[in-house]
A and B are shown apart, each in its own frame.
Chain A
């Protein structure tokens, strides 16, 4: 199961909430400072994560911004729940990915089967300024199915397998299996030996 099919937002359901602890009095200021630090560390990386999942940079920035808005709102309205998120790095990426895949408004429409893999070796609109190396990797990632792409995107951000399993609601063994299969497919694509059944340039 992928991040897009997990039902409600992590704020209401994610098992990342290992416990609900009430912050000590006076800790709100510290929590906000921690949030700013968290934002500074991860904003660009979350944008990259969403791009690894097939988004243009503009869409990835929108999704990242919406995810951080949600995290700020959660921290402000329910500090104990925010504090209880054990892997905020994985959580914010899951929220951003859901925002990208299931936008609240008509800004984006869901991709159809025919659009999932591009005809040309382009990673998507708005990537013209990227190096050839980056474009090829983004394009190769787009040849993977959604679950494999998301697992690889988490892995590229050094998110532990346990946290990937947690966010995607799959087993760690499943994460390892998907990653192994995805790496084999990427090696074939990037070596110029396309995976059978994939559309190639």
Chain B
């Protein structure tokens, strides 16, 4: 199932909903992994954490 027409055709069953949600879930994670740089985010987190750490 990969198009708007496919999704809207026929009756939506529990099984079909599970399949659709699972497929969209995987696709969205793939997209996020491809476009959100976790290493850069980690560097930003460490930088922010260092800056916000209370002085001894």
Q: Which residues of A contact B (CB under 8 A)?
A: 36, 39-40, 43-45, 47-48, 51-52, 57, 61, 64-65, 68-69, 72-73, 76, 129-134, 136-138, 156, 183, 186-188, 190-192
Contact = CB atoms under 8 A, between A and B. Distances in A.
Contacts of A137: 20-21, 24-25, 28
Nearest to A61: B36
A76 B49 contact: yes
B33 to A, nearest CB: 5
| Top 5 A-B pairs, shortest CB-CB distance | A191-B12, A137-B24, A187-B12, A192-B8, A43-B38
A50 to B, nearest CB: 10
A72 B17 contact: no
Contacts of B33: 44
B49 A44 contact: no
Contacts of A183: 14, 17
A188 B23 contact: no
Contacts of A45: 29
A134 B14 CA distance: 18
Given A48-B32, A72-B45, A72-B49, A40 B4 contact: no
Given A47-B32, A133-B2, A187-B12, A64 B49 contact: no
Given A44-B33, A47-B32, A183-B14, A133 B1 contact: yes
27 contacts: A39-B42, A40-B38, A43-B41, A44-B29, A44-B32, A44-B33, A44-B36, A51-B32, A57-B32, A65-B41, A68-B42, A69-B48, A69-B49, A72-B49, A131-B27, A133-B2, A133-B24, A134-B31, A136-B7, A137-B20, A137-B21, A137-B25, A138-B24, A183-B17, A187-B12, A187-B17, A191-B12
Interface SS majority for chain B: helix
Interface of B: 1-4, 7-8, 10-14, 17, 20-21, 23-25, 27-29, 31-33, 35-36, 38, 41-42, 44-46, 48-49, 52-53
Contacts of B21: 137, 156, 186
B4 A134 contact: no
Contacts of B20: 133, 137, 190
Contacts of A72: 45-46, 49
B14 to A, nearest CB: 7
Contacts of B48: 69
Given A44-B33, A188-B12, A190-B12, A136 B4 contact: yes
